[in-house]
């Protein structure tokens, strides 16, 4: 897809702050589905950041721009991004392909924090752990 196609789509969808609590919005690479069972995502995991509602629109946009602008050194590892709209805050997750590739995952996490000027710690959870343990899954990596 082109940059023009991205902006055409982006300008015609609601921002996270305008969605109802409980809504999820995702943007994944072509032919990758935003689910753990997708063969590309199955061995992967996700980095997660939380934001107050006042920052979610900007952080979602900057995440998408970093992805489509190929700003990550290990961008080939990224599957897509998901924003979860909740009543008190939003979560944005960056899904990746190969959770066991620690150097790539750490690079992605650190760069994402830099792009968004995010100062809190973020954690990376393997999809396999999340499937088994649900909310009990622990971070494998942090930055």
Q: What is the pTM of this model?
A: 0.91
The three-class DSSP label of residue 129 is helix
Q: Is the pLDDT confidence value at 39 over 70?
A: yes
Length of the chain: 143
| Alpha-carbon span 86 to 121, nearest angstrom | 20
Identify the band that residue 3 occupies on the pLDDT scale cut at 50, 70 and 90: confident
- What's the pLDDT score for residue 6? 85
How does pLDDT run across 65-114, given as a tens digit for each residue?
999 888 999 999 999 999 999 988 899 999 999 999 999 999 999 999 99
Does domain 3-142 fall under CATH 3.30.760.10? My reply is: yes
- Per-domain residue ranges for the chain? 3-142
Pairing of strands 123-126, 90-96: unpaired
Asked if 115 and 106 touch (Cβ cutoff 8 Å), the reply is no
Q: Would you state the pLDDT for residue 1? A: 62
Cα 132 from Cα 143, distance rounded (Å): 24
Task: Provide CB contacts within 8 A for 133, sequence distance 6+.
Answer: none
């Amino acid at each position: 897809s082109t940059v023009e196609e991205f902006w055409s789509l982006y300008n015609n969808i609601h921002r996270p702050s305008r969605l109802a609590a409980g809504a999820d919005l995702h943007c994944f690479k072509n032919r990758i589905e935003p689910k753990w069972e997708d063969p590309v995502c199955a061995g992967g995991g996700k980095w997660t950041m939380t934001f107050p509602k006042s920052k979610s629109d900007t952080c979602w946009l900057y995440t998408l721009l970093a992805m489509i602008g190929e700003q990550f050194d290990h961008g080939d590892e990224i599957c897509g991004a998901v924003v979860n709209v909740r009543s008190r805050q939003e979560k944005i997750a960056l899904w990746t392909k190969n959770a066991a590739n620690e150097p790539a995952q750490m690079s992605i996490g650190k760069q994402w924090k830099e792009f968004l000027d995010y100062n809190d710690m973020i954690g990376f959870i393997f999809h396999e752990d999340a499937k088994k343990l649900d909310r009990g899954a622990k971070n494998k990596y942090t930055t």
